Amino acid sequence: MTEDVLSQASAWGFDCNSEDDGNWQILPQQKNEKWKLQLMGDIWLLSVGNVPQISLHPHEVIAFLELRRYSSKCSTS
């Protein structure tokens, strides 16, 4: 399931990379946005301004990214 999330995030233009500890993170398309998603085991942790906010399951991550993608398109139009 992690591969599905990373594949979809990458296809939508989000920056996906692996941290030194081998865990994945997804960063926003817009550099002024201060959120990030980090994979912690089987759960994704959403942090805003480096403050952990909520843990998400893979299907929730995809829904979150879809909303962020749509929001980014609207703000650049």
Residue 42 falls within a domain, yes or no? yes
What percentage of residues in the chain have a pLDDT greater than 90?
70
Dihedral sign of CA atoms 34, 37, 38, 44 in order = positive
Q: What is the pLDDT of residue 74?
A: 60
Is 18 domain-assigned? yes
The verdict on residue 75 lying in a domain is no
What pTM value is reported for the model? 0.86
What are the pLDDT digits (tens) for 44-71? 999 999 999 999 999 999 999 999 987 6
Domain containing 9 equals 2-70
Q: In this structure, is the dihedral angle defined by the CA atoms of residues 35, 67, 26 and 28, taken in order, positive or negative? A: negative
Is the pLDDT at 16 greater than 60, yes or no? yes
Question: Into how many domains does the chain fold?
Answer: 1
- Does 77 map to a domain? no
- DSSP annotation of 30: S
Q: Tell me whether residue 11 is in a domain.
A: yes
d(CA 28, CA 14) in angstroms, rounded, equals 6
